[in-house]
Amino acid sequence: MHRRPGCWEINVKNFKVAVALLSFLAGSAFLVSAASPPKLLAWDAVHKEIVCKPGAKSAQFAFSVTNVSPKDVIILRTPTTCGCTVAKLPEEPWVLPPGGSGQIKVTVDLTDKMGTVKKGVFVIISNAPTEMLSVQAAMSVIIPPPTGMSTQDRARNIQLAKANARAIFQGSCADCHVAPSQGRMGGDLYITMCAICHDAGERQASAVPNLRHLKKPVDFNFWKNTIANGVTNSLMPGFAKANGGPLTEAEIQSLAEYLNKTIPPSASVESARQ
Ligand code: HEC
Ligand code: HEC
């Protein structure tokens, strides 16, 4: 069905997106240099997005850059916002003559990552202000918008699920909400069965909470019970076979173990105290 190999790329040319994203990454606003003329470097994009299949070990990005100034531009280093992310220059330092161009390759290690991973790259230039790049890798088996669902289909699906949250397990709904999960356990099962709603990125419905920031303490039993029984009168159905869902005891167990490992109880209690 909606399956493609490896990762596939979505380019975002809008600079504002990258600025907003980087401010978000830094946790606060910081100086943005690109507005200051004259422009030395022209990028094919300053923000790149990739969607990866579950189990992908890393996401690769290549940023093409051209020196559009009349002088040499010397890129000294490209540190990143995370130890999991490496931005590689063709050589260090990298001297770009006027009109010269090349690529900066960015690799994000996705081991044990789930949902959407956003990282920033600082391009430190010897004779000009630092420029910023950002990358995003989303792990999903579902093709994201614009090839996703229409607004009308989505509204109709929500209506059906409001009448009966278990609707997602039935008929054509199961093509996306159940079938991709067949034979999967743990993190792979999470990405196919849960992330479709809980890590839907910009499209995520407001009714669907971010599981990493639940305002309550979480632990293994909480995950297990919620997955098995769902939340009454909500769009979150019980997934246990006993509740009309698709998941066996062992599958629920593997999900609860995965979530308990990835979202430690202490971290969530901290955020619950805020
Ligand atoms: C083509 C794949 C696909 C099919 C078929 C599908 N869904 Fe979904 N569903 C998604 C995706 C993807 C999301 C995440 C939000 C988004 O991207 O629109 C989602 C999210 C949801 C949500 C969470 C609320 C929301 O809008 O985010 C509900 C409830 C839901 N679907 C119910 C259903 C029901 C009921 C059916 C069948 C009538 C169904 N879906 C069929 C892919 C699908
Ligand atoms: C069709 C979309 C959808 C899918 C698929 C889905 N959820 Fe949910 N989930 C929701 C919604 C909506 C809520 C909010 C319920 C409420 O109103 O409190 C929720 C809430 C939760 C909560 C918080 C419950 C609480 O007490 O605060 C957990 C934990 C959770 N989901 C885990 C999962 C896991 C694990 C999976 C995969 C097995 C999953 N969900 C699949 C829609 C979904």
Residues linked to residue 101 through DSSP beta bridges, in sequence order: 66
Residues linked to residue 178 through DSSP beta bridges, in sequence order: none
Closest residue by CA, ligand 1 atom 29: 158
Answer yes or no: do 108 and 188 share one domain: no
Answer yes or no: do 36 and 133 share one domain: yes
Domain boundary among 139, 162, 195: 139
Secondary element (H or E) of residue 270: helix 265-273
User: 254: Cβ–Cβ under 8 A, 6 or more apart, which residues?
Assistant: 185, 186, 189
- For 197-236, the pLDDT digits (tens) are 998 877 889 999 999 889 899 999 999 999 999 999 999 9
Residue 267 domain boundaries: 151-273
Q: Please tell me the predicted confidence (pLDDT) of residue 141.
A: 59
Distance, in Å, from the CA atom of 160 to the CA atom of 200, rounded to the nearest integer, reads 19
Answer yes or no: do 131 and 60 share one domain: yes
CATH number for the domain spanning 134: value is 2.60.40.10
Q: How many residues appear in the chain?
A: 274
- Asked if residue 235 has its Cβ within 6 Å of ligand 2, the reply is yes
Domain boundary among 110, 139, 168: 139
Tell how strand 58-67 and strand 85-88 pair up: unpaired
The answer as to whether 231 is a domain residue is yes
SS3 readout for 131-197:
EEEEEEEEECCCCCCCCCCCHHHHHHHHHHHHHCHHHHHCCCHHHHHCHHHCCCCHHHHHHHHHHHH
Could you tell me the two tokens for 110? 């996705």
Mean pLDDT on 245-256? 97
- The pTM of this model reads 0.63
The answer as to whether 49 is a domain residue is yes
The answer as to whether 225 is a domain residue is yes
Mean pLDDT on 160-173? 95
- For 63-115, the pLDDT digits (tens) are 999 999 999 999 999 999 888 999 999 999 999 999 999 999 999 999 878 77
The answer as to whether 241 is a domain residue is yes
Q: Please tell me the predicted confidence (pLDDT) of residue 188.
A: 85
Peptide bond into 264 cis (omega under 30): no
Ligand with minimal distance to 199 CA:
1
- Asked if residue 19 has its Cβ within 6 Å of ligand 2, the reply is no
Domain boundary among 117, 139, 161: 139
User: 186: Cβ–Cβ under 8 A, 6 or more apart, which residues?
Assistant: 254, 255, 257, 258
Strand, helix or coil at 184? coil
Answer yes or no: do 96 and 163 share one domain: no
The answer as to whether 228 is a domain residue is yes
Residue of 142, 192, 198 to mutate, ligand 2, most atoms within 8 A of C-beta:
198
Q: Please tell me the predicted confidence (pLDDT) of residue 6.
A: 65
Question: Which candidate, 197, 223, 193, 227, places its Cα nearest to that of 210?
Answer: 197
Mean pLDDT on 133-158? 76
The answer as to whether 1 is a domain residue is no
Answer yes or no: do 199 and 239 share one domain: yes
Per the structure, the count of domains in the chain is: 2
Question: Which candidate, 61, 64, 17, 59, places its Cα nearest to that of 44?
Answer: 64
Answer yes or no: do 13 and 133 share one domain: yes
- Asked if residue 236 has its Cβ within 6 Å of ligand 2, the reply is yes
- pLDDT at position 182 over 80: yes
Answer yes or no: do 34 and 128 share one domain: yes
Mean pLDDT computed over every residue of the chain: 82
CATH number for the domain spanning 195: value is 1.10.760
Answer yes or no: do 134 and 156 share one domain: no
Strand, helix or coil at 29? coil
Q: Helix, strand, coil: what percent of the chain each, to 5?
A: 35, 25, 40
The answer as to whether 2 is a domain residue is no
Closest residue by CA, ligand 2 atom 42: 236
Q: How far is the CA of 115 from the centre of ligand 1 (A)?
A: 17
Question: Which candidate, 53, 122, 130, 51, places its Cα nearest to that of 85?
Answer: 122
User: 163: Cβ–Cβ under 8 A, 6 or more apart, which residues?
Assistant: none
Q: Please tell me the predicted confidence (pLDDT) of residue 199.
A: 84
